Amino acid sequence: MKNVSVLYGRDLDFVNHTNVRVSGQVFGGIASNLKSNPKEQTHDCEGLLLIPGLINAHTHVGDSIAKDIGIEYEAEDKINPIGGFKQKILRNSASLHIESFIRNSCLSMIKKGVTTFIDFREGGEMGIVLLKNATSDLPIRSVILGRIEYYQDINSIKKNICLPESKKRELNGLIQNCDGIGISGPNEYSDCTLNYYSKIKKIHAIHSAESDESCRISERVTGKTETQRSLFSKPNFLVHMTHASKKDLLLAKSNSASIVVCPRANAALAEGIPDMNLIIRLGCNVAIGTDNVMINSPDMFREMDYLWKVSMGMKKKRLSPKLILKMATVNASRILKNKRIGSIQSSNLADCVLIDKHAIDLEPMHNPYASIVHRASESVIRAVMIGGKIAFGKI
């Protein structure tokens, strides 16, 4: 790709004109003096901006079948892992129907520049199979965090009853077929069970401090905050942290736990917005997710735009659009400890999005970071590449 603009490296430095070689699945070279050879396909990309593929760091694509059902209900009634009507819908829906709508959500993400997504996969081993089947012929990269359908009651939590041996065996079998574990939250498990989860060698993550109610339950039942208890599982990242205190955030940082925020979903559930200024000021690594497809579209452009504006609107302090874009790319790669995605540089996987700088909504593009974060949409995408192959559009 010659004469292309690039957001280069892990700092997303803007390079106005350069040449980019894609060799197999990776970026083979990036330099203005890079010459093509007759055996290569060469594309003149004048007027295009190459950005890293977006990483949706938290999804629940299984509930794609339940879009906007019960929109007027409270959060616990919708998504509680034990009694929420989302679970009832999933239990009473045919697997092929669920699979079909999961596939649609993945296609939607590809068209919107998402090249990798991290999914909290409900439904045990069958839930993992559903997602794998739905994406078997799609190029999008899925990171599957599975879950056994086992939750403890308040009495078991107070008595600190550990995970039963039968469930340990079920969990160990499940982990063999996915990338890690996505824990529903600390209020469904005893300290002993959370500690058992911490021994898993793969990725583990957990919802934490999503609502006022869940925070109050944790304090009342255990005398500890949700974040304190979440960290017993030694997660790679904590999801939401909408109501986390400064002490909780410092505790997360000291335990090397990243944070994934889902502002549109939190707003849709009337749960508030994370204090982004505080989270950033304390030096936490932050990524962005779109959460449940049931309540929110898996659109990272809309997520970045909303996060940027609502944070400034609430706190009257400006966030850098470049920082927001890093949350959707570079920072997300950090939570996976995978430096080969999330940035455009030699030897990284060739996951990228070609943006039309002359698109009616972007031209004239004076600030590429602001343009992408609060003006871009699916309509400005010329092509999406995943692992060196065009997944959507054309150059």
What is residue 76's predicted lDDT score, i.e. its pLDDT?
Answer: 64
Taking only the tens place, the pLDDT of each residue in 119-170 is 999 999 999 999 999 999 999 999 999 999 999 999 999 999 999 999 999 9
Find out whether 10 and 52 touch, Cβ atoms under 8 Å. Answer: no
Regions of the chain short of the pLDDT cut 70: 73-83, 85-86
What would the two tokens of residue 331 be?
Answer: 């920072």
Question: Within 13 Å of residue 189, how many CA atoms lie on the same side as its CB?
Answer: 30
What is residue 336's predicted lDDT score, i.e. its pLDDT?
Answer: 95
Where does residue 273 fall: left (phi above 0), alpha (psi -120 to 50 degrees), or beta otherwise? beta
Q: Would you say the C-alpha torsion 110, 114, 118, 120 has a positive or negative sign?
A: negative
- Comparing CA positions, the residue from 281, 301, 303 lying closest to residue 292 is 303
What is residue 85's predicted lDDT score, i.e. its pLDDT?
Answer: 62
What would the two tokens of residue 303 be?
Answer: 């997520």
What is residue 317's predicted lDDT score, i.e. its pLDDT?
Answer: 85
* pTM: predicted TM-score of the whole model, two decimal places: 0.96
What is residue 95's predicted lDDT score, i.e. its pLDDT?
Answer: 87
What are the helix (H) ranges across 152-245? 154-158, 165-175, 191-197, 212-222, 226-230
Find out whether 39 and 48 touch, Cβ atoms under 8 Å. Answer: no
What is the β-pairing status of strands 180-183 and 141-146? parallel
